[in-house]
Structure 1
Amino acid sequence: MNLDGKRILLTGASGGIGEALAHALASHGATLLLHGRKSAALEALRQQLPNPERHHCLCADLCHPQERRQLVNAPVLADGVDILINNAGTNQFAWLEDQTEEQITAQIELNTLAPILLTRALLPKLRTPGLIMNIGSSFGAIGYAGYSAYCASKFAMRGFSEALGRELEGSGIKVLHFAPRATRTHLNSPDVYAMNVALGTQTDSPDEVAEWAVASLEREQIRTWIGWPEKLFVRLNALLPGLVDRALAKQHSIISRFAHPLAHKEGSQ
Structure 2
Amino acid sequence: MKLHDRIFLLLGGTGGIGEALVDSLARAGSRVIVASRHPENIGHREGVSPVHLDLAAIDLDQQLVRLSEAYPDIDGVIHCAGQNRFAELAAMAVSELDAQFSVNLRSAMLVARHFVPRFRKAGSGALVFVGSTFGSIGFPGYTVYCATKFGLRGFTEALRRELADTALQVVYVAPRATATEMNPEAVNELNRALGNHVDSPQAVALVILKAMENDDRRRFLGWPEKLFVVINGILPRLVDKAMLKKLPVIKRFLNTGVLQ
TM-score normalized with structure 1 length:
0.91
Q: Distance in 2 between matches of 1:117 and 1:100?
A: 24
Q: Quick one: which of 47, 68, 72 aligns to 1:78?
A: 72
What TM-score do you get using the length of structure 2 for normalisation? 0.94
Counterparts of 2:176 and 2:186 in 1: how far apart (Å)?
A: 17
* Residue 169 of structure 1 pairs with residue 164 of structure 2: yes
Q: Which secondary structure state, in structure 2, belongs to the residue aligned with residue 156 of structure 1?
A: helix
Structure 1 Cα separation of the partners of residues 183 and 48 of structure 2: 29
Q: Deviations over 1:155-199 (max 9, x none)?
A: 000000000000011111121110000011121111100100111
Matches within 5 A, 1:1-269: 1-42=1-42, 44=43, 47-48=44-45, 52=46, 54-74=47-67, 75-79=69-73, 81-126=74-119, 127-261=122-256
SS of 1:56's equivalent in the other structure is strand
Distance (whole Å) between structure 2 residues aligned to residue 201 and residue 76 of structure 1? 43
Paired residue secondary structure (1:73): helix
Gaps of 5+ in 1: 263-269
The answer to whether the 8 Å contact 2:40/2:50 transfers is: no
Q: Which residue of 2 aligns with 1:266?
A: none
Q: How many corresponding residue pairs?
A: 254
Alpha-carbon separation, structure 2, partners of 1:243 and 1:128: 45
Q: Distance in 1 between matches of 2:12 and 2:99?
A: 15
Unaligned residue ranges in structure 2 (runs of 5+): none
Compute the displacement of 1:40 (Å). 1.9
How many angstroms does 1:68 deviate by?
Answer: 4.5
SS at match of 2:114: helix
Which residue in the other structure is 1:267 paired with? Answer: none
CA-based RMSD: 1.3
By how many angstroms is 1:5 displaced?
Answer: 0.2
